[in-house]
Amino acid sequence: MLGLICDSLTPFFYGVREARLNMTSALHIAVLAAGEGTRLGGAQPKVLTPLWGRPSVAWPLEAAASLEPSTQVVVVGRHRAAVEAALAERNDSVVFADQAEPLGTGHALLCAKQALAGATGRLLVLYGDCPLVHPALLESLLEAHDRSPAALTLLTMELDDPTGYGRVVRDDAGHVVAIMEQADATVDEQSICEVNTGIWVLDLPQGLDRLESLGRDNAQGEVYLTDLVGLATQAGEPVGALCWHDPEDVLGFNDHTELALVRGILRERILAHHLEAGVEIVDPGSTFLDVTVEIEAGAQLLPCTMIEGHVSIAKGCVVGPFAHLRDGTVLEAGAEIGNFTEIKKTRVGAGSKAKHLTYLGNAEIGAKVNVGCGTITANYDGKHKHTTKIADGAFIGSGTVLVAPSEVGEGSRTGAGAIVTAGSKLSAGETWIGVPARPLQAKRVPRPTE
């Protein structure tokens, strides 16, 4: 029986654990993602809540995938198609199991049984609304399980305000004997601050067999996975528990306040990753980056900047203040994107600049281009998006509208306020001005009356 273990992991311990994990039995993963998440409101299921470029359910999957499990099962409900689409990049490694009705977490895991038929070893259970878990934490839990005689080990945490979580009930000797859900807990039990994180390890195949005997006799009429603990206790079997020292690694979200907290923690982790990798982020407090953003060391992000989706930023780039880069933006070395500029699906070549009040969408911009203040690529005709091409060394005058599709040749210029209409092609070195924009004559021809 493993009692309360708190944070005391030394490097030495990590070394031992690695050796043991290599020798231990196979690992399988089940992520429960079939709940309705009604407490959050909104049309989409809670597990698809976008968290910095990745839906909530993909975060625990990503953490678990690094442990190289033999099987990854995601239990899905009536939103299966949407969850499958959101996890499309992982569909080769993930198996989906249906839970026709959301009858509770115990029932959800039972629905994974078929997908795990014949599997032996350990099953790591994760919840799709607990996105903060990371590989080191999961490895520690597996190690605790491997060292324990228990067939079931859960991860707990201590919270100042445990409201909403299942409370961990221990006997006088400190052994875990039950988990009481908020709705079922007595007043005394509600004062317990140690709670269930929703992360478990079960031995297979026997760990799943007991799920069949879970009832629904509780305040919510649900099949609680947490009742496995009480059943094991009644059968005289030990239950393992690892108390994780940092709730910021295991919090879930059931309402908007908790969601904002979880978002904030993930945001800081993403920023820390880039800071450690050598990116200068002048004000992390006002910088928002998706996990899918790639930034080379030596780039600089100025305050009030938001970068979403698959974006890559090369060394020497300066982005911001007040810049918004969206999916498909590529900034090559030394590009500068400034105040109130929005860019999406656009490649900006080395050393090019768009520093003020500009929208660039579906554009291919060469090197050393100057995009003047107030430039707009009008990429959408109401039905389709079209491409704007601007070659190396072009100079786009302030207030130019480039209606796509259009092309600006190498070294070409547009005059301030020019409206370059759809289908226009500015040859290399030409200057176009006016509304609609036309080539500027090399020499002005005097009128006959002059």
Contact between 34 and ligand UD1 per CB under 6 A: yes
Contact between 265 and ligand UD1 per CB under 6 A: no
Catalytic annotation present for 324: no
Contact between 379 and ligand UD1 per CB under 6 A: no
Beta bridge partners of 76: 33, 98
The residues binding Ca ion (CB under 5 A) are: 129, 252, 254
In angstroms, the CA 443 to CA 450 distance is: 16
Residue 35 binding result from ligand UD1, Ca ion, none, given CB thresholds of 5 to 8 Å by partner type: ligand UD1
Contact between 153 and ligand UD1 per CB under 6 A: no
* Closest to 56 measured CA to CA, from 263, 204, 228: 263
**Only segment of 202-210, 223-231, 238-246, 281-289 that touches ligand UD1 (CB under 6 A):** 223-231
Q: Which of 134, 245, 310, 356 is catalytic?
A: 356
Which of the residues 73 through 132 are near ligand UD1 (CB under 6 A)? 75, 99, 102-105, 107-108, 127-130
Q: Which one, 5 or 108, has the nearer CB to ligand UD1?
A: 108
- φ, ψ of residue 123 in degrees (nearest 5): -115, 120
The first and second tokens of residue 213, run together, are: 């005997």
Residue 291 binding result from ligand UD1, Ca ion, none, given CB thresholds of 5 to 8 Å by partner type: none
Q: Which one, 213 or 220, has the nearer CB to Ca ion?
A: 220
* Closest to 54 measured CA to CA, from 242, 266, 228: 266
**Min separation Cβ 223 and ligand UD1, Å:** 8
**Only segment of 146-154, 169-177, 224-232, 436-444 that touches ligand UD1 (CB under 6 A):** 224-232
Contact between 207 and ligand UD1 per CB under 6 A: no
**Min separation Cβ 170 and Ca ion, Å:** 22
* Closest to 99 measured CA to CA, from 109, 87, 111: 111
The first and second tokens of residue 236, run together, are: 């005289």
**SS3 annotation, 169-205:** EECCCCCEEEEECCCCCCHHHHCCCEEEEEEEEEEEC
Contact between 55 and ligand UD1 per CB under 6 A: no
The first and second tokens of residue 230, run together, are: 């009480």
Among 252, 393, 409, 411, binds ligand UD1 (CB under 6 A): 252
* Closest to 341 measured CA to CA, from 372, 313, 314, 312: 372
Contact between 184 and ligand UD1 per CB under 6 A: no
Residue 179 binding result from ligand UD1, Ca ion, none, given CB thresholds of 5 to 8 Å by partner type: ligand UD1
In angstroms, the CA 144 to CA 198 distance is: 16
Q: Which one, 36 or 89, has the nearer CB to ligand UD1?
A: 36
Contact between 133 and ligand UD1 per CB under 6 A: no
Q: Which one, 9 or 40, has the nearer CB to Ca ion?
A: 40
Contact between 244 and ligand UD1 per CB under 6 A: no
**Min separation Cβ 318 and ligand UD1, Å:** 41
Q: Which one, 200 or 432, has the nearer CB to ligand UD1?
A: 200
Residue 133 zone, left/alpha/beta (φ > 0; ψ -120 to 50; rest): beta
**Min separation Cβ 252 and Ca ion, Å:** 4
Contact between 332 and ligand UD1 per CB under 6 A: no
Residue 108 binding result from Ca ion, ligand UD1, none, given CB thresholds of 5 to 8 Å by partner type: ligand UD1
**Only segment of 194-202, 306-314, 339-347, 392-400 that touches ligand UD1 (CB under 6 A):** 194-202
Q: Which residues are catalytic?
A: 356
Q: Which residues make up the interface to ligand UD1 (CB under 6 A)?
A: 32-35, 47, 75, 99, 102-105, 107-108, 127-130, 165-166, 179, 181, 195-198, 224-226, 252, 254
